[in-house]
C-alpha cells in the first residue's frame, strides 16, 4: 500500500503542484485547505506524513500542529511546516514541527525532504 501524505495548504496552485510531484513519486495524497477539514481527515484516514502550511483560514498551522502534538494518537506523526515567512521557523520548531520549509521552494527540495521523512532513499 502506498504511503499516505496529508497536505494542508490553502493556496490551490501550491497544493496542486505538491500533490502532483508526490503522486508521481508513488505516494497517496489527501488534501485539506483549512484546519477543521484537516483534523477531520486525520481522524478518518491517518497519514504517514503531514505537510502543513503555517497561514490557513480559520485555524493556523501552528494551532493544528499544537493539536497534533497534544493528542497521544498523533503526537509522533511527522510534520513538515511550510511558510512564506522564514521568521516563523522558531515558532514552528517550538510547536513540534519535524521539518520546516520556506516558500518558495523547488520541487526537488520538497521531494527530498518528503523522501527523508518517510525513510525513502
pLDDT score recorded for residue 50: 98
Looking at domain 4-117, its CATH superfamily turns out to be Response regulator (3.40.50.2300)
Assign 26 to helix, strand or coil. coil
What's the burial of 27, exposed, middle or buried (CB within 10 Å: 0-12/13-18/19+)? buried
Count the Cβ atoms, other than its own, within 10 Å of residue 110: 19
CB-based burial, 66-83: b 16+ in 10 Å, e otherwise? eebeeeeebeebbbbbbb
Q: Each residue of 17-67: pLDDT tens digit? A: 999 999 999 999 999 999 999 999 998 999 999 999 998 998 999 999 999
Q: Each residue of 107-118: pLDDT tens digit? A: 999 999 999 999
Picking from 82, 104, 107, the residue whose alpha carbon sits closest to that of residue 24 is: 107
Domain extents for the chain? 4-117
Amino acid at each position: 500500500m502506498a504511503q499516505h501524505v496529508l497536505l494542508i495548504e490553502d493556496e490551490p496552485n501550491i497544493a496542486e503542484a505538491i500533490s502532483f510531484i508526490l503522486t508521481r513519486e508513488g505516494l497517496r495524497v489527501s488534501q485539506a485547505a483549512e484546519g477543521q477539514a484537516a483534523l477531520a481527515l486525520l481522524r478518518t484516514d491517518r497519514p504517514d506524513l503531514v505537510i502543513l502550511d503555517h497561514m490557513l483560514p480559520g485555524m493556523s498551522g501552528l494551532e493544528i500542529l499544537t493539536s497534533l502534538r497534544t493528542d497521544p494518537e498523533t503526537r509522533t506523526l511527522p510534520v513538515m511546516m511550510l511558510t512564506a515567512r522564514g521568521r516563523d521557523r522558531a515558532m514552528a520548531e517550538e510547536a513540534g514541527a519535524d521539518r520546516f520549509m520556506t516558500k518558495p521552494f523547488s520541487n526537488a527540495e520538497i521531494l527530498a525532504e518528503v523522501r527523508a521523512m518517510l525513510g525513502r532513499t
